[in-house]
């Protein structure tokens, strides 16, 4: 026990581990600050960040357990009463504890940071957080086992690179599933993660690996039995973890004339979404808002699973504006309601004016750009499918965009749009017809847009 | 002399080479010097006595304990202090940490007593003010003293030292001799060395090994006496091996050269004559 305390003291002062803690907290904290705090994702991301600490702990435990074979000390240590199994046991006690503390030092601040920011959505899964702690403990036992079974310290680096590759190349766990130490990407549509079962799995594997490390000192019945029992626990647990429960049903609620359907636990975001869309809902008549379909938070839904202020608003605003203005899929150029929809969108977020990416490819069956007009990406939220030159299903061109921008510059535009809403959103009303009502000098395009070529 | 350590018919082979050939010795309280040329079997004997190497034949008994038995070996290790020929260090430890690590492995479990003991042995080797210094920042001589410090942990009854004075400056060597002579008053100390000066000044008894066998066992005076009448000083260079003394004469061993006068024999002379070193008639 004295030796374990000594090893623990050294381990908690290990600069490699603390460097990993600082890097993980700073990098993930900076990344998380760009998003509205969602405890579900924050916990998964924090634990994913803590895998960096697990890597450092693996190396540190490997060096500690292999110490008695380095530095020319084996001869001196050989004449001491304490034997190699005791040294292995000490590292197996100290390193997982130090690893667990270091992982907690990553996870707790990141979750705490999320709680301090608002509005907080999602649910904190304590089992999920403990997965990060258990993962660091598993890394520690793996480091000790590698030191005992292989003579080269660099094997620990090979193992780390192997798992790093798995995390990067297989983030959703397509290969290996929950038998992997960690799945970095959370798919909210698949229901809650099997965090409790996976925690039990990680602990069982950590104990088994620790027992394997001790078996290096000779075939002893206790470590052999512990390894066998641990594996007997781990295998069925991970098999069970493959059967994910179905996600909880989504409950919708009305706010500012719109219907929001947040994922379970994301109700606190409804007020934030409504506030972001208020520049639209404050102008659009209630009967028009009623045309807007439910705003569902789901993968590829109108509301993204995660919300990045300054980016996520545009896609949602475009969808709401399109529906409120009655735009239909297809050519919308030169129509007053297209300008109104773009204007509404522009009240929420900047209308980007960049040429479509050179590598943009039109989805199969979608209308391509016609001659004589240009396509512009409205936004690139990264979370809502936005087609350049289209406001969801409707096409617009640079003339519509210019008219919408002119309208945005006019402080009295909201009153005029509200007063003439019915006329402006009539499908037959062109921008030229509506120019006096809108109070702008209409810029005209060169014909219909979005016609199939 | 009451023997505390007995070696009987000790044999150890490495492949076809016999490093120790049925060596029998007895050691008691005091400092015993182990001399011998390279490959004589000194380190092999030291390692067997330090329980880090098992003999192929024969046996050892120390303080009534038989190291061939696992539990007795462990009990012996608790009473043993060992400085190997190439003592390693962990460069990233502090001096205190390194010695404390060894102290813990020596089963010193009481924290306060252990820390006191670590401080004591560091002071013994004059490293008390370097306790918090990383080992990588210590000089070669300091590292050697640090290795010696760990061998002194727990005030061992049996101290086995393999070439401990390598790398020590004259002042440190003097301190080391003072320390060992004090320890030798009540403990069994074995000192393997190439430094006959250490043997002369420290050891009450000398064992000379050659090709795995004991060729001399006795006091340093007896070893020096072997050279009596075979040490010569001449004014002209004699035949064979010789060296020039500070007073301009030539010193040689063996038969009397022409016009030579007798010189004062020393341990080294006896040792060289005993081994029949190159150019020196046995």
Domain around B229: 224-275
B:28-67 residues touching chain A, CB 8 A cutoff? 47, 50-52
Q: CB distance from B143 to chain A under 8 Å?
A: no
Mean of the pLDDT values across residues B227-238? 86
Contacts of B105 in chain A (CB under 8 A): 3, 77, 80-82, 87
Contacts of A81 in chain B (CB under 8 A): 74-75, 77-78, 105-107
Q: How confident is the model at residue A92 (pLDDT cuts 50, 70, 90)?
A: very high
Q: How confident is the model at residue B277 (pLDDT cuts 50, 70, 90)?
A: low
Percent of chain A with pLDDT over 70: 87
Mean of the pLDDT values across residues A106-115? 94
Question: Is pLDDT above 80 for A395?
Answer: no
**H or E element: which one contains A359?**
none
- Convert the pLDDT of each residue in B104-130 to its tens digit: 999 999 999 999 999 999 998 889 999
Same domain, B35 and B171: yes
Same domain, B249 and B238: yes
Same domain, B64 and B199: yes
Average pLDDT, chain A: 83
Question: Is pLDDT above 60 for A207?
Answer: yes
Same domain, B65 and B134: no
Q: B74: buried, middle or exposed (CB in 10 Å: 19+, 13-18, 0-12)?
A: middle
Q: CB distance from A80 to chain B under 8 Å?
A: yes
By Cβ distance, the residue of B88, B102, B109 closest to A2 is B109
- The answer to the question of residue B28 being in a domain is yes
Verify whether the Cβ–Cβ distance B100 to A80 is below 8 Å: no
Verify whether the Cβ–Cβ distance B84 to A76 is below 8 Å: yes
Domains: count for chain B: 3
pLDDT at residue A46 in the model: 94
Same domain, B199 and B263: no
Min mean pLDDT across A81-85, A322-326, A374-378 is at A374-378
- The answer to the question of residue B39 being in a domain is yes
Q: Which ranges constitute the DSSP H helices of A79-119?
A: 84-116
Contacts of B118 in chain A (CB under 8 A): none
Mean of the pLDDT values across residues A251-260? 92
Among B154, B171, B198, residue at a domain's last position: B154
Among B154, B174, B198, residue at a domain's last position: B154
ipTM for the predicted complex comes to: 0.86
Q: Which residue of B has its CA nearest to A83?
A: B105
Q: Which residue of B has its CA nearest to A82?
A: B105
Verify whether the Cβ–Cβ distance B86 to A76 is below 8 Å: no
Q: Which ranges constitute the DSSP H helices of A170-281?
A: 195-215, 221-241, 268-281
Min mean pLDDT across A77-86, A334-343, A357-366, B88-97 is at A357-366
Q: CB distance from B70 to chain A under 8 Å?
A: no
Count how many residues are written for chain B.
282
Question: Is pLDDT above 80 for A190?
Answer: no
Mean of the pLDDT values across residues A48-75? 89
Q: CB distance from A77 to chain B under 8 Å?
A: yes
Verify whether the Cβ–Cβ distance A76 to B82 is below 8 Å: yes
Q: Compute the CA torsion angle A11, A15, A21, A25 (nearest 10 deg).
A: 160
Contacts of A74 in chain B (CB under 8 A): 88
Q: CB distance from B150 to chain A under 8 Å?
A: yes
Q: Which residue of B has its CA nearest to A85?
A: B105
pLDDT at residue B279 in the model: 55
pLDDT at residue B3 in the model: 82
- The answer to the question of residue B281 being in a domain is no
pLDDT at residue B244 in the model: 87
Contacts of B77 in chain A (CB under 8 A): 79-81
- Residue of higher predicted confidence among B200 and A381: B200
Going by the DSSP 8-state scheme, the letter that residue A309 receives in this structure is: T
Same domain, B13 and B135: no
- The answer to the question of residue B280 being in a domain is no
Q: CB distance from A72 to chain B under 8 Å?
A: yes
Mean of the pLDDT values across residues B8-27? 91
Mean of the pLDDT values across residues B189-212? 88
- The answer to the question of residue B47 being in a domain is yes
Which site among A4, A7, A73 would you substitute to test the B interface, given the most B Cβ atoms closer than 10 Å to its Cβ? A73
Q: How confident is the model at residue A373 (pLDDT cuts 50, 70, 90)?
A: very low
Q: How confident is the model at residue A352 (pLDDT cuts 50, 70, 90)?
A: low
Structure-block tokens of residue B17: 């080479």
3-state SS, chain B, equals CCCCEEEEEEEEEECCEEEEEEEEEEECCEEEEEECCCCCCHHHHHHHHCCCCCCCEEEEEECCECCCCHHHHHHHHHCEEEECCCCCCCCCCEHHHHHHHHHHHCCCCCHHHHHHHHHHHHHHCCCHHHCCCEHHHCCHHHHHHHHHHHHCCCCCCEEEEECCCCCCCHHHHHHHHHHHHHHCCCCEEEEECCCHHHHHHHCCEEEEEECCEEEEEECHHHHHHCCCCCEEEECCCCCCCEEECCCCCEEEECCCCCCCEECCCCHHHHHHHHHCCCCCCC
Q: CB distance from A79 to chain B under 8 Å?
A: yes
Highest mean pLDDT pick, A133-147, A178-192, B11-25, B134-148: A133-147
Ranges of each domain in chain A: 2-241, 253-438
Mean of the pLDDT values across residues B221-244? 85
Verify whether the Cβ–Cβ distance B51 to A79 is below 8 Å: yes
Shortest distance, CA A20 to any CA of chain B (angstroms) = 19
A266 CB contacts (<8 Å, ≥6 apart)? Answer: A38, A121, A122, A297
CA quadruple A303, A309, A311, A314: dihedral sign: positive
Same domain, B168 and B66: yes
Question: Is pLDDT above 50 for A263?
Answer: yes
Question: Is pLDDT above 50 for A360?
Answer: no
- The answer to the question of residue B282 being in a domain is no
Among B154, B184, B204, residue at a domain's last position: B154
pLDDT at residue A270 in the model: 93
Shortest distance, CA A60 to any CA of chain B (angstroms) = 13
pLDDT at residue A19 in the model: 96
Mean of the pLDDT values across residues B254-271? 85
Same domain, B74 and B173: yes
Count of CB pairs separated by less than 8 Å, A with B: 71
By Cβ distance, the residue of B78, B87, B111 closest to A76 is B87
Mean of the pLDDT values across residues A115-124? 86
**Strands B205-210 and B188-192: what pairing?**
unpaired
Same domain, B50 and B177: yes
Q: CB distance from B136 to chain A under 8 Å?
A: no
Q: CB distance from A13 to chain B under 8 Å?
A: no
- Residue of higher predicted confidence among A404 and A239: A404
Min mean pLDDT across A183-197, A256-270, A376-390, B4-18 is at A376-390
- Name the phi and psi angles at B112, rounded to 5: -65, -45
B:72-131 residues touching chain A, CB 8 A cutoff? 74-75, 77-78, 80, 82-84, 86-91, 97, 100-102, 104-109, 111
Q: CB distance from B248 to chain A under 8 Å?
A: no
pLDDT at residue B120 in the model: 94
Contacts of A83 in chain B (CB under 8 A): 74
Question: Is pLDDT above 60 for A324?
Answer: yes
Same domain, B99 and B113: yes
Verify whether the Cβ–Cβ distance B86 to A81 is below 8 Å: no
pLDDT at residue B95 in the model: 95
Q: How confident is the model at residue A448 (pLDDT cuts 50, 70, 90)?
A: low
Shortest distance, CA A24 to any CA of chain B (angstroms) = 25
Highest mean pLDDT pick, A131-140, A160-169, A299-308: A131-140
pLDDT at residue B179 in the model: 85
Tell me how far apart the alpha carbons of residues A424 and A418 are, in angstroms, rounded to a whole number. 9
pLDDT at residue A357 in the model: 40
Q: CB distance from A87 to chain B under 8 Å?
A: yes
Shortest distance, CA A86 to any CA of chain B (angstroms) = 9
């Amino acid at each position: 026990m004295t030796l374990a305390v000594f090893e623990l003291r050294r381990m908690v002062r290990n600069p490699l581990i603390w460097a990993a803690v600082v890097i993980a907290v700073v990098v993930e904290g900076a990344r998380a600050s760009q998003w509205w705090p969602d405890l579900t994702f924050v916990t998964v991301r924090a634990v994913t960040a803590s895998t960096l600490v697990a890597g450092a702990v693996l190396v540190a435990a490997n060096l500690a357990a292999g110490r008695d074979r380095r530095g020319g000390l084996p001869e001196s240590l050989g004449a001491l009463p304490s034997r190699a199994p005791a040294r292995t046991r000490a590292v197996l006690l100290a390193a997982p504890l130090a690893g667990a503390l270091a992982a907690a030092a990553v996870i707790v601040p990141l979750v705490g940071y999320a709680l301090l920011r608002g509005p907080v959505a999602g649910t904190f899964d304590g089992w999920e957080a403990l997965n990060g702690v258990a993962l660091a403990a598993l890394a520690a036992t793996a480091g000790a086992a590698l030191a005992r079974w292989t003579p080269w310290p660099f094997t620990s680096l090979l193992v780390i690179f192997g798992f790093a590759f798995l995390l990067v190349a297989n983030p959703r766990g397509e290969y290996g599933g929950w038998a992997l130490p960690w799945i970095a990407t959370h798919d909210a549509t698949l229901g809650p993660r099997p965090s409790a079962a996976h925690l039990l799995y990680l602990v069982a594997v950590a104990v088994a690996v620790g027992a394997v490390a001790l078996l290096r000192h000779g075939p002893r019945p206790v470590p052999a039995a512990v390894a066998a029992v641990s594996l007997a626990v781990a295998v069925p647990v991970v098999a069970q973890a493959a059967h994910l429960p179905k996600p909880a049903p989504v409950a919708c609620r009305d706010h500012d004339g719109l219907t929001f359907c947040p994922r379970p636990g994301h109700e606190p975001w409804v007020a934030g979404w409504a506030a972001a869309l208020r520049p639209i809902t404050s102008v659009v008549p209630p009967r028009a808002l009623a045309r807007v379909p439910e705003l569902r938070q789901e993968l590829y839904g109108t509301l993204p699973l995660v919300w990045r202020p300054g980016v996520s608003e545009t896609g949602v605003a475009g969808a709401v504006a399109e529906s409120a203005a009655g735009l239909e899929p297809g050519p919308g150029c030169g129509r007053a309601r297209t300008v109104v929809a773009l204007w509404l969108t522009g009240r929420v977020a900047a209308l980007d004016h960049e040429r479509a990416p050179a590598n943009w490819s039109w989805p199969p069956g979608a209308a391509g750009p016609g001659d004589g007009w240009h396509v512009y990406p409205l936004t690139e939220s990264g979370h809502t499918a936005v087609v350049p030159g289209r406001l969801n299903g409707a096409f617009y061109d640079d003339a519509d965009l210019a008219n919408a921008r002119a309208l945005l510059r006019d402080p009295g535009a909201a009153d005029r749009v509200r007063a003439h809403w019915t006329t402006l959103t009539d499908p037959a009303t062109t921008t030229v017809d509506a120019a006096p009502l809108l109070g702008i000098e209409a810029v005209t395009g060169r014909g219909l847009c979005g016609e199939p070529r | 002399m009451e023997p505390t350590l007995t070696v009987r018919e000790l044999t150890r082979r490495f492949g076809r080479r016999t490093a120790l050939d049925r060596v029998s010795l007895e050691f008691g309280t005091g400092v015993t010097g182990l001399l011998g040329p390279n490959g004589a079997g000194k380190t092999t004997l030291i390692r067997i006595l330090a329980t880090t190497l098992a003999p192929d034949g024969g046996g050892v008994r120390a303080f009534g304990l038989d190291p061939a038995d696992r539990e007795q070996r462990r009990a012996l290790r608790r009473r043993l202090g060992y400085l190997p020929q190439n003592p390693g260090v962990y460069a990233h430890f502090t001096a205190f940490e390194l010695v404390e690590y060894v102290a813990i492995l020596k089963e010193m479990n009481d924290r306060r007593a252990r820390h006191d003991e670590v401080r004591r042995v560091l002071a013994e080797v004059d490293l008390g003010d370097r306790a918090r210094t990383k080992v990588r920042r210590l000089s070669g001589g300091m590292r050697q003293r640090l290795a010696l410090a760990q061998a002194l942990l727990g005030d061992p009854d049996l101290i086995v030292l393999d070439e401990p004075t390598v790398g020590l400056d004259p002042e440190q060597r003097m301190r080391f001799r003072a320390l060992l002579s004090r320890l030798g008053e009540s403990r069994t100390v074995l000192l393997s060395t190439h430094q006959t000066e250490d043997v002369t000044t420290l050891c009450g008894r000398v064992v000379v090994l050659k090709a795995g066998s004991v060729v001399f066992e006795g006091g340093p005076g007896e070893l020096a006496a072997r050279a009596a009448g075979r040490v010569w000083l001449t004014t002209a260079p004699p035949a064979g091996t010789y060296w020039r003394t500070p007073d301009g004469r030539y010193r040689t061993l063996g038969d009397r050269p022409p016009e030579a006068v007798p010189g004062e024999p020393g341990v080294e002379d006896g040792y060289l004559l005993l081994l029949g070193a190159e150019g020196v008639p046995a």
